[in-house]
């Protein structure tokens, strides 16, 4: 039976809509609507992509959601939490649920890395041994595809802090799919005020799901991730 929800799938840094291929296929096979997206700044054919900002990405998501059929569950992987948080701050009613995949909401004034130099236009995918994220579950072929298809991340997206003022963003029904770290540890860090996790402790309608694997579950456990996403919205 087809769901009434449309799943808008937003990949993290260096990735385009293609990163969700296996998850989108599994969702559609189960009768769901899936809309994978490529955020501004991550389209290799866009000559202006390096100038993209987080507000640009949030505005793009607003347009995608406006065109979707029925209620939307916004699925945000990793660094897609930045434009997702901005969008929810601007319009908490835009989505029926937000589902963070190995990620979570960001706080006012937060940015991915404010130390990124102002003159850095973009950052290519670093060597895998320099990534501070788990590669568990990824084989050599997947890593090769990741490397070949990765698009440099716009410097402003990495560097600029987000500005959030609307407390109602914390009322949006939220699911966090915990992958790299178990949810018990994630929630403990949130309660203790860990800078990366603290905003999670402010959410007023939160479910957590454990899906043990690395930071890219759309490749390491795509069928299980699709099930977790669908179940979160059911």
Domain membership flag for residue 60: yes
Number of domains composing the chain: 1
* Residue 210 covered by a domain: yes
* Cβ–Cβ < 8 Å for 231, 200: no
Which pLDDT tens digit goes with each residue over 185-214? 999 999 998 888 899 999 999 999 999 999
Looking up residue 131, the CATH number of its domain turns out to be 3.40.50.1820
pLDDT tens across 76-124, in order? Answer: 999 999 999 999 999 999 999 999 999 999 999 999 988 889 899 999 9
pTM of the model: 0.96
* 94 SS3 class: helix
Cα dihedral: 93, 97, 100, 104 (round 10): 50
Quick one: CA torsion of 67, 69, 71, 72, rounded to 10 degrees?
Answer: -60
Domain for residue 172, yes or no? yes
With respect to residue 66, please indicate whether it lies within any of the assigned structural domains. yes
Q: Domain of 194?
A: 6-233
How far is it, in rounded angstroms, from Cα 231 to Cα 176? 12
CA 36 – CA 20 distance, rounded (Å):
6
Residue 125 falls within a domain, yes or no?
Answer: yes
Instruction: Please check whether residue 1 lies inside any domain of the structure.
Output: no
Residue 106 lies in a domain: yes
Is 159 domain-assigned?
A: yes
């Amino acid at each position: 039976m087809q769901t009434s929800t449309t799943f808008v799938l937003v990949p993290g840094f260096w990735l385009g809509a293609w990163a969700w291929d296996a998850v989108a296929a599994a969702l559609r096979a189960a009768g769901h609507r899936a809309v994978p997206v490529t955020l501004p700044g991550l389209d290799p054919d866009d000559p202006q992509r390096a100038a993209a900002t987080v507000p640009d990405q949030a505005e793009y998501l607003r347009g995608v959601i406006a065109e979707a059929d029925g209620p939307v569950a916004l699925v945000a992987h990793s660094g897609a939490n930045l434009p997702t948080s901005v969008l929810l701050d601007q319009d908490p009613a835009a989505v029926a649920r937000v589902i963070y995949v190995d990620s979570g909401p960001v706080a006012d004034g937060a940015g991915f890395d404010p130390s990124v130099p102002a003159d850095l236009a973009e950052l290519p995918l670093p060597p895998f041994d320099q990534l501070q994220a788990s590669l568990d579950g990824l084989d050599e072929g997947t890593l090769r595809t990741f490397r070949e298809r990765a698009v440099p991340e716009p410097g402003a997206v990495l560097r600029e802090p987000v500005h959030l003022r609307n407390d109602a963003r914390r009322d949006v029904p939220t699911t966090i799919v915990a992958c790299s770290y178990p949810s018990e540890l994630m929630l403990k860090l949130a309660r203790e005020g860990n800078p990366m996790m603290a905003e999670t402790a402010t959410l007023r309608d939160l479910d957590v799901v454990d899906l043990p694997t690395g930071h890219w579950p759309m490749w390491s456990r795509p069928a299980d991730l699709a099930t977790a996403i669908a179940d979160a919205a059911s």
